[in-house]
Amino acid sequence: MKERANERATLLGAGAALGLIGGALFLTRGAARDDAAIVYPPLDTPKSLGDDIWIVDSGPISALGFKLPVRMTVMRLRDGSLILHSPTRHTAALGAALDAIGTVRHIVAPTIAHWAYLEEWQRAYPSATCWAVPGLRDRRAVRDAGLRIDAELGEAAPADWADEIRQGLVRGGAGFEEAWFFHAASRTLVLTDLIENLDPGKLRPAAAAVMRATLATRGTCALHARAALLLNRGEAVAAISAAIATEPETVVFAHGDIFRGRGAARVRQAFDWLL
């Protein structure tokens, strides 16, 4: 009974949050926060996170009318191949910096929402394999853009990186899908939108208010994602439990501050409402 009550509360909260988002769009566009305050400089340059793993902070991007920071993660395999996870904008300088690190061979769209910059990277590295979560190629916007998707991500890592990186798929309802990756060499769990940890002090006032209300500033799963996961609770619990079982020390997301230390415990806490 309590579990069902919690699910109803989450769904109602998600609905209320969507209403709040709509009401705040007008205010957000008029806010005076400078774009430079929103992001995590230096931008569009690899920053080492550990052995054979880097982050590239970029943005701000516009999501539902709100300006948010965004992040790419770069993982290097033993043969020197680079995996670009959730690519941000391509620049010549960034490409040159990555070329100095390794060879871009894999470009990954880990959710159905993070694909906007894939084509830029495909043009820069036409021989790289483009991987995407199941369902992305079926989106109308993706078809209309003529985006090339070479292979789909599965529940298990492909032979290309299975010896060094573990992965899984978290499937919710309403088309929600996200692939997670565990980079063993650095003990880093790489997520996209399953956890959001935005700093409200860096956002425009209305955006900060909405992100607080939707739990996107607390290092947890935001309300819209909770609602989607509850629609497929059994599979979601199994997939998230598998990610936690990798015992990560560091956890990276696309939006907000990274978990540096106690990664497994903090992810478990982020999903205590579900597990």
The predicted-structure confidence for 86-107, as pLDDT tens digits, reads as follows 999 999 999 999 999 999 999 9
- Find the domain containing 16 and state its range: 2-270
Cα separation, 136 vs 143, in Å, equals 9
In a domain, 56, yes or no: yes
Q: How many CB atoms lie within 10 A of CB 170?
A: 26
Q: Rounded mean pLDDT of 33-53? A: 94
The strand pairing partners of 166, in sequence order, are: 182
Q: Which residues contact 234 (CB under 8 A, 6 or more apart)?
A: none
C-alpha distances in Å from residue 224, one per residue of 137, 173, 230, 248: 22, 11, 10, 25
Peptide bond into 110 cis (omega under 30): no
Mean pLDDT, the chain, whole residue set: 91
pTM score of the predicted model: 0.89
| For residue 147, pLDDT beyond 80 | yes
- Residue 10, pLDDT > 90, answer no
CATH number of domain containing 207: 3.60.15.10
User: For the chain, what's the residue count?
Assistant: 275
Residue type (1 letter), 150: D
Considering only residues 4 and 119, tell me which one the structure prediction assigns the higher pLDDT: 119
Domain count within the chain? 1
pLDDT of residue 243: 99
Residue 142 included in any domain? yes
**pLDDT of res. 63:** 83
Alpha-carbon span 199 to 93, nearest angstrom? 28
Is the model's pLDDT at 232 over the cut of 70? yes
pLDDT band at 28 (very low <50, low <70, confident <90, very high): very low
- Percent of the chain at pLDDT > 70 equals 88
Residue by residue, DSSP assigns 164-209 as TEEEEEEE-STT-EEEEEEEGGGTEEE-SSSSBB--GGGS-HHHHH
Contact by Cβ (8 Å): 101, 74:
yes
Nearest to 195 by CA among 235, 224, 237, 162: 224
The mean per-residue pLDDT over the stretch 61-78 comes to 94
- Whether 206 is covered by a domain: the verdict is yes
DSSP string, 84-113: EES-----HHHHHHHHHH-EEEEEEE-BSS
**Contact status, residue 144 vs residue 199, Cβ threshold 8 Å:** no
Residue 192 lies in a domain: yes
* 275 within domain boundaries: no
Using alpha carbons, select from 199, 196, 221, 205 the residue that is nearest to residue 273: 221
Where residue 76 falls (left for φ over 0; alpha for ψ -120 to 50; beta otherwise) is beta
Domain presence at residue 37: yes
**Any residues with CB less than 8 A from the CB of 67 and at least 6 apart, and which?**
28, 33, 35, 38, 59, 60, 61, 203, 204, 207
Confidence at 7, pLDDT banded by 50, 70, 90 = low
Mean pLDDT value of segment 187-208: 95
Residue 21 has pLDDT above 90, yes or no: no
Beta bridge partners of 73: 55, 85
Answer yes or no: is 218 within a domain: yes
- pLDDT > 50? residue 9: no
Res. 27: pLDDT tops 60? no
**Per-residue model confidence (pLDDT) at position 4:** 55
Residue 238 lies in a domain: yes
> Does the pLDDT value for residue 250 go beyond 70?
yes
Q: What is the pLDDT of residue 64?
A: 77
**Residue 126 above 90 pLDDT?**
yes
